[in-house]
């Protein structure tokens, strides 16, 4: 097992000769050897893999039945020397004058259990009732096979004693296609890894539906789901098999095989058991077993009946067989990204429209800086007024240039307000801020304000060397002055995003506050894509050009004095780290509760837009944790706003945290690394 709860699993599709048990076992063993070389811990083979699924009336031949039993005995003996993990393989077994379609669970030569199929298809091309008995007809709880006394039944889980959270549940093909699959009960009894041995043939569109089933069941059960199906060797008479294999985790597809391969196939992926267990803990309705009719599976208590095994010491693997999204908030495909942006935009508009309708559609005020966040909020406000049938002139858009405003953002703010047809206002806040700093007796950057006018102060600020441009009061006075002007102008629409809220990258009761914030649960990386989506899909001409220029503008609070060239002296991502990395940290910390060591482990392997050293990632992660804990007091009093995704920091909804919680436990990892 990999560190941080990762478990390597595999779905195998061996070449098959129908009714040739010796040939089939040979190829199963070959795949077991291959799986061992790739450090697989759990591997699943197709339904009736030892005999082949399409034996039809040959299943009632005693010779084939004995051949299957002997082949299982040989497989158990030979696999002990070639595979150290858990293997699940299908075969027919005759028990008390009934034939069952079974899954045998093997570990190092020991048979841990035999699980019979519960639901037998007998429609269209399927005739299983002709040959097999359903599991419910079984009269015994144990079998003697391969010289071992083996548990027999559907109410059995397989738990690793030395791998926390690894509990395997087994179902067979049609079991997944029924309204309440056995795997649902297995998950309720604790199974985190569900396996399905299948023989699903190929027809038009069936692969898509099969994929949906697997993804849906893995999500419903909050489990990993390993699905394997027999390959082309089973194709006969009127039906064709493609060897479709799938590995899913809580509704996410980790790996999928190519179909119709003419060779042994092994699909490998790493599932995250720790993530699954955290999700189950959070979803407190998951284990409300008392609300279900009590099946035999749970008759022995919530744990069910369990066979145990030991994986043994596992090597720490340098690779990770699962996709790691560098930008987890941003869908990868263009069509999916377009759909996501459109949906989010409509959620934002719907939320703001409801609030404004309730208040009688009052005039609204919004600060427009020429940056990403205020641009998105302004676009939402315009679309909201359009939706409500109100004039965009009811939007009082203020651009409020201060000592740090750059030429580019000021020009873009002016252009955007004009192009969108809102009521545009421009207020130079420098004189107001100068008077407030005088009233406070503040000397910005050590400058005596006595007798200084705005332009003279601005000129002196231009000449400040970069190393002296640090003055929190100077920054806060500007931020709060802007908010004061907006608050006295009408119903204020906020602009801050969830990335800034996580890091405390706002001025308390400054840009931190508004009367409704449509951006409040959108991360910075997604804000950028939303503005670009709006530019390319909702606007054209001059508006599109302005929006695309804003997308390409340096992210900066623009509160410190600009240089003589009019360029901003602050670059947010230089100070706190790249937003693509910070949003990655935020997603894994908040969505999955991942510890810092695991977040760093994943970040080191994520395909970011540019390469970052481990030292850089570690430093930014340490700063992220420090800022996140230190900034909770700001998040404890934020305005309403719509939740649009899985991450939100609203104190009324997704995140409740004491403002004085200590970060020591989360920072201890950094100390152990010499940081």
Active-site residue flag, 117: yes
According to DSSP, the β-strands at 86-95 and 42-44 are parallel
**Which residue intervals of 359-429 are DSSP H helices?**
372-388, 407-420
> Which residues are paired to 12 by β-bridges?
266
Closest CA to 112 of 69, 81, 157: 157
Catalytic residue among 47, 128, 171, 532: 47
> Which residues are paired to 9 by β-bridges?
42, 269
Q: How distant is the alpha carbon of residue 153 from its chain centre?
A: 35
Q: What DSSP state is assigned to residue 389?
A: T
According to DSSP, the β-strands at 156-160 and 167-172 are antiparallel
Q: Write the burial class of residue 190 (CB in 10 Å: 0-12 exposed, 13-18 middle, 19+ buried).
A: middle
The neighbour count for residue 633, using CB atoms within 10 Å, is 13
Active-site residue flag, 47: yes
**CA pair distance 606, 133, nearest whole angstrom:** 49
Catalytic residue among 117, 528, 598, 622: 117
Q: Write the burial class of residue 557 (CB in 10 Å: 0-12 exposed, 13-18 middle, 19+ buried).
A: buried
Tokens of 41: 């811990």
Catalytic residue among 173, 245, 433, 520: 173
Evaluate whether 454 touches 444 at the Cβ level (below 8 Å): no
Q: How distant is the alpha carbon of residue 212 from its chain centre?
A: 18
Q: How distant is the alpha carbon of residue 218 from its chain centre?
A: 14
The neighbour count for residue 311, using CB atoms within 10 Å, is 19
Please provide residue 391's backbone torsions phi and psi, each rounded to the nearest 5 degrees: -75, 140
Length of the chain: 675
**CA pair distance 1, 263, nearest whole angstrom:** 28
Kindly provide the b/e burial profile for residues 345-363, where b requires at least 16 CB atoms within 10 angstroms of the residue's own CB.
bebbbebbbebbeeeebee
- What three-state secondary structure class fits 475? helix
Active-site residue flag, 137: no
**CA pair distance 566, 425, nearest whole angstrom:** 22
Active site residues: 47, 117, 173
């Amino acid at each position: 097992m990999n560190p941080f709860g990762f478990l390597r699993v595999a779905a195998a599709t061996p070449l098959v000769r129908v009714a040739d048990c010796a040939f089939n076992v040979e190829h199963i063993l070959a795949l077991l050897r291959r799986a061992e070389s790739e450090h697989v811990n759990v591997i699943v083979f197709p339904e009736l893999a030892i005999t082949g699924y399409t034996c039809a009336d040959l299943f009632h031949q005693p010779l084939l039945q004995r051949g299957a039993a002997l082949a299982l005995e040989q497989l158990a003996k030979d696999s002990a020397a070639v595979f150290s993990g858990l293997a699940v393989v299908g075969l027919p077994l005759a028990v008390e004058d009934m034939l069952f379609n079974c899954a045998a669970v093997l570990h190092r030569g020991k048979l841990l259990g035999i699980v019979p199929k519960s639901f037998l298809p007998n429609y269209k091309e399927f005739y299983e009732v002709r040959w097999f008995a359903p599991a419910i007809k079984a009269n015994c709880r144990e079998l003697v096979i391969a010289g071992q006394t083996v548990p027999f039944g559907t109410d059995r889980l397989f738990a690793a004693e030395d791998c926390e959270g690894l509990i395997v549940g087994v179902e067979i093909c049609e079991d997944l296609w029924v309204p309440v699959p056995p795997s649902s009960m297995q998950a309720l009894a604790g199974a985190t890894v569900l396996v399905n041995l299948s023989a699903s043939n190929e027809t038009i569109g069936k692969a898509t539906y099969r994929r949906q089933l697997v993804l849906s069941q893995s999500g419903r059960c909050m489990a990993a789901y390993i699905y394997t199906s027999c390959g082309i060797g089973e194709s006969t008479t009127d039906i064709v098999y493609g060897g479709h294999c799938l590995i899913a985790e809580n509704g996410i597809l980790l790996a999928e095989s190519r179909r119709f391969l003419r060779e042994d196939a092994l699909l490998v992926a790493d599932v995250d058991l720790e993530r699954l267990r955290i999700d189950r803990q959070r979803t407190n309705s998951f284990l409300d077993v008392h609300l279900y009719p009590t099946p035999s599976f749970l008759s022995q208590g919530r744990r069910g009946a369990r066979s145990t095994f030991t994986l043994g010491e596992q090597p720490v693997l340098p690779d990770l067989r699962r996709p790691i999204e560098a930008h987890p908030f941003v869908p990868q495909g263009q069509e999916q990204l377009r759909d996501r942006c459109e949906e989010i935009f409509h959620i934002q508009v719907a939320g703001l429209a409801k609030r404004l309708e309730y208040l009688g559609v009052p005039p609204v005020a919004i600060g427009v800086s020429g940056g990403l966040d205020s641009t998105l909020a302004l676009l939402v406000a315009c679309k909201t007024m359009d939706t409500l049938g109100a004039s965009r002139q009811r939007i009082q858009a203020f651009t409020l240039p201060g000592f740090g405003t750059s030429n580019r953002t000021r020009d873009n703010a002016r252009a955007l307000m004009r192009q969108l047809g809102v009521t545009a206002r421009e207020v130079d806040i420098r004189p107001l801020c100068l008077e407030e700093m005088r009233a406070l007796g503040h000397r910005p950057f050590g400058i005596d304000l006595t007798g200084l006018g705005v332009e003279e102060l601005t000129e002196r600020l231009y000449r400040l060397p970069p190393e002296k441009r640090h003055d929190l009061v100077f920054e806060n006075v500007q931020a709060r002055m802007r908010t004061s002007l907006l608050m006295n102008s009408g119903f204020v629409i906020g602009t801050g995003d969830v990335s800034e809220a996580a890091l405390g990258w706002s001025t308390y009761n400054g840009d931190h506050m508004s009367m409704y914030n449509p951006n409040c649960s959108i991360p910075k990386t997604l804000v950028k894509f939303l503005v670009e989506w709006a530019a390319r899909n909702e606007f054209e001409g001059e508006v599109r050009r302005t929006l695309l220029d804003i997308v390409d503008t340096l992210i900066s609070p623009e509160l410190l004095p600009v240089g003589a060239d009019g360029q901003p002296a602050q670059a947010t991502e230089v100070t706190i780290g790249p937003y693509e990395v910070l949003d990655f940290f935020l997603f894994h910390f908040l969505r999955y509760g991942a510890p810092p060591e695991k977040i760093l482990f994943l970040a080191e392997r994520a395909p970011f837009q540019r390469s970052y050293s481990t030292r850089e990632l570690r430093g930014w992660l340490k700063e992220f944790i420090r800022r996140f804990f230190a900034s909770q007091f700001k998040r404890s009093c934020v305005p309403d706003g719509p939740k649009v995704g899985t991450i939100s920091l609203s104190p009324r909804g997704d995140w409740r945290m004491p403002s004085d919680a200590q970060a020591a436990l989360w920072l201890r990892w950094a100390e152990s690394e010499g940081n």
